[in-house]
A and B are shown apart, each in its own frame.
Chain A
Amino acid sequence: MRYGFAIDTKRCIGCHTCSTACRIENNLPNGVWWNRALTEGGPEMDTPAGEFPDVTMTYLTVACQHCDNPACVKVCPVGATYKDPETGVVRQDYDKCIGCRMCMAACPYTGVRSFNWEEPQHTIDFAVGDADAAPHQKHVVEKCTMCWHRLAKGEEPMCVKTCLARARFWGDLDDPESEVATLVRERSYKQLLADEGTKPSVYYLV
C-alpha cells in the first residue's frame, strides 16, 4: 500500500482553501503552513506571468511529498521522521524529535518542513480542528501528516475533502482500481523535482 495524491492543476483555481482547511483541521500555530498554494506565474503570490493579454497563471499546491525514497528519513539521527511501512506515509514523531533540523537541510522541497521556533501561538484562544490531531510542541520539526488522525478513522485528508474545485484526489497508488492510480495512469502528470530521485507520492496532473 502506498497512499498518495493526484492533484489536477487544470482544475485547481488557487483558492487556498486546502491550505486553510489544513491549518484549521490540524490547529496549526501562527505562521505555520503545512500546505501552500504556490503560484506558477509572476514574482509574487497570485500574480500572472507574461504581459497582458498573453498572461498565464497556474497553481501548485505543495505539502510534504511523502516520498517513496525520502531524503529526510535517511538523515534523522534518532528516527523521529520515518516512513510508515504499511501506508508509505512519511511521519514525524514530535516526542522524539531533538530539533537538530537535519531533515530541513535534507528535504529538497523548500518550505515543506516547518520548525516551531517559539512556543506555538494561536490567534484564537481555543483549539480548533480535530481533537485527535497531534498537539504542537515548541522546538520540534513538523509537517503534513497526510491527516494521519483522519486516516486512522478511515477518512480522507482534510485538504482533499474541502477542495472546492474537486482538484485533489487521494488514495492507494498501489491499487490499480483506485481513483488516484487510474488518474495517474490515464492522465499526463509531472512530479516536483523528479531529478532528485526522491520518488514523491504526489502527482500533479497537467
Chain B
Amino acid sequence: MTELNNVAVADDDFNPAAAPKAREAAGAKAAAWGGKGLTAAIAVSGAIAVIGIALWVVQLSGGMVQTAMRNLDSWGLYITNFMFFVGLSAGGLIISSVPKAFGIKGFGGISKVAVWSSIAATVCAIAFVVVDLGQPLRLWELFAYSNLGSPLMWDIIVLGTYLILSCVYLWATLQNERGKVSNTALRVISVVALVCAVLVHSVTAWIFGLQQGREMWHTALLAPWFVSSALVCGTALVAIVVVALRKAGYLELDQAYVVKLAKLLGAFVVVDLYFFGCDLLTEAFPAAGGMAVVDMLVSGPLAPFFWVEIIGCVACAVVCFTPSLRRPGLIVAASALAIAAIFCKRVQLLVGGFQLPTLDLPGPVTSMTVTGWEAGVAGAYEGMVYWPTMIEWGITLGVIGLGAFILLAGLKFLPLRPQD
C-alpha cells in the first residue's frame, strides 16, 4: 500500500523489454494503489455527495422556488453543468479510442484512466439532468411514453448508450490486455464508441440549437461547436489528470506524450475560437436582431464570461503552441484555463438563451415570472437574468462530489494503471 512500492512499476508502459514478471507484479499492485490520502479523498468526496443528496431532498420537498430559476429563466446552473459535463466526458473516450480506431500511436497507456474519467463525467451529466427535474419519480415515463421526436429524448437515449459503451469499452480494453478480447474486436468497439461520443455532443447541442424561439441558440453551427468545445475541455481534463497522476506516482508518462496532448489541446482551442468568430460575425453582420446577442456578450451582462473565455482560450493556445512554454506546470495551468473558458461558454449559452426574450412587452410580473421581479421586467433583465442560489451551488457541489468519488474509487480499486 505504500507509495514507495509504486516506484517498481516505473516504465511498465513504454519499455517493451520489461520482463513479463515485472508486468505481473505491476498488475497485482495496480489494484492496490493509493495510501491514506486517497482513502481520505474518497471518503470526503462521498460525504459531499451525500450532503448533495440531502440538499436535493430539501429542494424537492420545499420546492424549486428555493432555486433562482423562474418562468422566464427556466433553466439554470444544473443545465449549464449538464452541458459542461457532457463536454468533459468527451475527451477521455476520444483520446483513448481515436488511436485504436485509426490504428495510430496512442498516448502511452493512459487510455484506461482517460475512459474512467469519461465515465465519471457522464454520470455527473446524467445526475445534473435528474436534479433539475421537478418530478424525478416520474423518470420511468421516459421509457414508457417516449416521444422519439424530442431532442431531450434523443439525448437520454444517446447518453445512456454512451455510458454503457464507455463501460464496455473499458472492460474490453482490460480483457484485451489479458488476451481474452481480440484487437479487432477492441477496434470495432472503439469505432462505435467514437461515433457515439460525437453523437452525444451533437444531440446535447440540438436540445438548444433546434429551438427557433431563442436567437442565441438557433444555429446549425451549434452541434459541431459542441463537439469542438467538448474536445477542448475533455482533452484539458485528461492532461490535468495524467500530469497529476504522474506526480502522485500512479503512472509513469514520458513528457513527449504530455506535449502531444498539449498540441492537440491547442489545435482544438483554435478550432473552437474559429467557430465562435464565425458565429459572432454571422450574428453581427446584418446589424439586425442578432446584434442583441453580440452586444449582450461583448459589452452586456454576459461580458465577464465572454472575455474570460476569449482570453483563457488565447492564453491556452499560446502555451500549447510555444515549445519553450510546454512545461508540465504551465500545461496544467493552460488546461485549467481552457476548462474555465468552456464553462464560461456554457454560462453564456444557457443564460444568453433566456436573457433575450422574444416577446418583451410589459405586463403583470410576479415572484414566479423572473428572479429580481421586484424591479419589474426591465429591471430583471438589466444584469444577468439568472444567478444561482446557495442550494443550487450546494447540489452542484454534491454532484461533482459524486463524480470525484467515482473517479477516485476507480483509481483505487480498478486496474486502470498502464501495463500494456
A interface vs B, CB < 8 Å?
Answer: 16, 19, 30-33, 36-40, 42-45, 47, 60, 62, 71, 74-79, 96-102, 104-111, 113-119, 138-140, 192-193, 196-197
Contact = CB atoms under 8 A, between A and B. Distances in A.
Given A32-B368, A98-B138, A102-B207, A111 B147 contact: no
B361 interface: yes
Contacts of A76: 147, 150
Question: Which of A108, A109, A119 has the most C-beta atoms of chain B within 10 angstroms of its own C-beta?
Answer: A108
Given A71-B213, A79-B147, A118-B64, A110 B358 contact: yes
A102 B147 CA distance: 13
B359 A99 contact: no
Interface string B49-66: 000000000001011110
A106 B213 contact: yes
A140 B135 contact: yes
Given A98-B139, A101-B74, A117-B69, A39 B362 contact: yes
Contact of A96 (B74, B145, B353): B145
Contacts of A47: 362
B211 A71 contact: yes
Interface in B357-399: 357-369, 376, 378
Contacts of A119: 63
Contacts of B146: 77-78
Question: Which of B64, B69, B146 has the most C-beta atoms of chain A within 10 angstroms of its own C-beta?
Answer: B64
Given A38-B359, A45-B365, A118-B62, 8 more contacts: A45-B363, A62-B361, A78-B146, A98-B139, A108-B358, A111-B71, A192-B359, A193-B359
B133 interface: yes
B63 A118 contact: yes
Interface in B132-165: 132-136, 138-139, 141-142, 145-147, 149-153, 156
B378 A43 contact: yes
Interface of B: 60, 62-65, 67, 69-72, 74-75, 129, 132-136, 138-139, 141-142, 145-147, 149-153, 156, 207-208, 210-214, 353, 357-369, 376, 378
Contact of A100 (B152, B363, B365): B152
A140 B69 CA distance: 14
A109 B74 contact: no
Contacts of B133: 98-100
Interface of B is mostly: loop
B141 A140 contact: no
A46 to B, nearest CB: 8
A36 B364 contact: yes
Contact of A77 (B64, B134, B153, B212): B153
Contact of A98 (B60, B141, B207, B211): B141
B135 A109 contact: no
Contacts of B367: 31
Given A60-B361, A110-B360, A75 B150 contact: yes
A36 B134 CA distance: 25
A70 B70 CA distance: 22
Contacts of A196: 212-213, 358
Contacts of B142: 77-78, 98
Contacts of A40: 361
Nearest to A20: B364
Contact of B135 (A37, A44, A139): A139
B359 A114 contact: no
A110 B366 contact: no
Contact of B366 (A31, A102, A105, A138): A31
Given A115-B71, A197-B212, A75 B135 contact: no
29 contacts: A36-B364, A37-B363, A38-B363, A47-B362, A75-B211, A77-B146, A77-B150, A77-B153, A77-B156, A97-B135, A98-B138, A98-B139, A98-B142, A100-B133, A101-B74, A101-B132, A102-B152, A104-B74, A105-B75, A105-B208, A108-B358, A109-B213, A111-B359, A113-B71, A115-B134, A118-B62, A139-B60, A139-B64, A140-B135
